[in-house]
Amino acid sequence: MMKLTNQESKLKWLLLLFLAIALFILALFTGQTSLNMIVIGLAIYIYKYGNPILFKEYDEKRKKQLEESRVVHEAVQETLQSKKLFKKIRRTYRCLMDV
């Protein structure tokens, strides 16, 4: 079996995704529940195997953003727990009041 390039692989998963959407719309208008079951199975297959290929860049970007926000959150928690921030604010406020 031939190895697909990244673009060919993405194209394959996109075509499967559009096929699933088209079948869902067809099943919705015709009222065929058996076709909906096929679409659900196809959607689960696409989600499990196609998601890492289709949304690789998005997932990497999101993971980086989540990691950055986690670091900031930990820094804020550490600052609040150490109460250094409140001491600095108190000193600044006292200096302003003395002037």
pLDDT digits (tens, 9 = 90+) for 43-99: 999 999 988 888 888 889 999 999 988 888 888 787 777 766 666 666 665 666 665
Q: Confidence class of residue 2 from pLDDT cuts 50, 70 and 90?
A: low
Has residue 35 got a pLDDT over 80?
Answer: yes
Q: What is the pTM of this model?
A: 0.60
| 3-class SS letters over the chain | CCCCCHHHHHHHHHHHHHHHHHHHHHHHHHCCHHHHHHHHHHHHHHHHHHHHHHCHHHHHHHHHHHHHHHHHHHHHHHHHHHCHHHHHHHHHHHHHHHC
Has residue 24 got a pLDDT over 60?
Answer: yes
Q: What's the confidence (pLDDT) of residue 26?
A: 93
